[in-house]
Amino acid sequence: MTGEIDPVKVMKQEVGKAAAALVQSGTIVGLGTGSTTAYAIEYLGSRLKSGELTDIQGIPTSFQAEVLAKKYGIPLTTLDAVDHIDIAIDGADEVDPQKNLIKGGGAAHTREKVVDALADQFIVVVDANKLVDRLGSTFLLPVEVIPMALTPVMRAIEKLGGKPELRMGVKKAGPVITDQGNMVIDVKFDLIDNPAELEKTLNNIPGVLENGLFVGVADKVLIGEVKDGQPIVREM
């Protein structure tokens, strides 16, 4: 029995490969979280193994990224040990025409924002269905909250016009807990007409650690699509 080739999987692999190809020897690389970024990490490991790429160090944005980096032989470092990040590769849950993002589907957006914002070049890898005209139209906005502040933060978000809901675990009783030991509120806003303003407003609520709006951070967006059964990668 021959396995069917999944064009969507191949497309994600091609986007990951295109991002990994932008990494140069001797650089510090932010390693993002998610299914497409996982392929980028895998291909970085392949380039290292073949000798095509040398002397890179990775800074993971999540436990998932750390595990994958170790699996594929990418040496890791920390923000304490370096003074810059050359390039970061990460996914997104939504991308608007100005390259603003909503991230946090994997509940790693706080560490992702730290790493991605520090990078000299931030490359976003997505498939075409993540492209939206306006942020918040297909994906809820994640907000990381320290546990003791959960109720007052939800009340404050409701006053801003948002509909907050505590993210619950899958195959786990109770809420999702982040790598920082906090909780995630997913918020529905009917309209996010000023992402930059909302990002600041949410982060000013006491008890909020970080939210999933990434405004003015992305430098390049690599978009994967399947056309006529063939995977293609284009750039925004």
To which H or E segment does residue 225 belong?
A: strand 220-227
What is the end-to-end Cα distance of the chain in Å, rounded?
A: 40
Which residue in 14, 66, 112, 210 is the catalytic one?
112
Structural contact between residues 187 and 162, judged by C-beta atoms closer than 8 angstroms: yes
Half-sphere exposure for 75 (CA within 13 Å, toward CB): 12
Distance CA 31, CA 62 (A): 8
In sequence order, which residues have a C-beta less than 8 Å from that of residue 49 and are 6 or more positions away? 73
Provide the token pair at 216.
Answer: 């003015």
User: Any catalytic annotation for residue 112?
Assistant: yes
Closest CA to 146 of 203, 80, 103: 203
Structural contact between residues 205 and 156, judged by C-beta atoms closer than 8 angstroms: yes
Torsion sign across C-alpha atoms 104, 107, 109, 112: negative
Distance CA 2, CA 24 (A): 37
Active site residues: 112
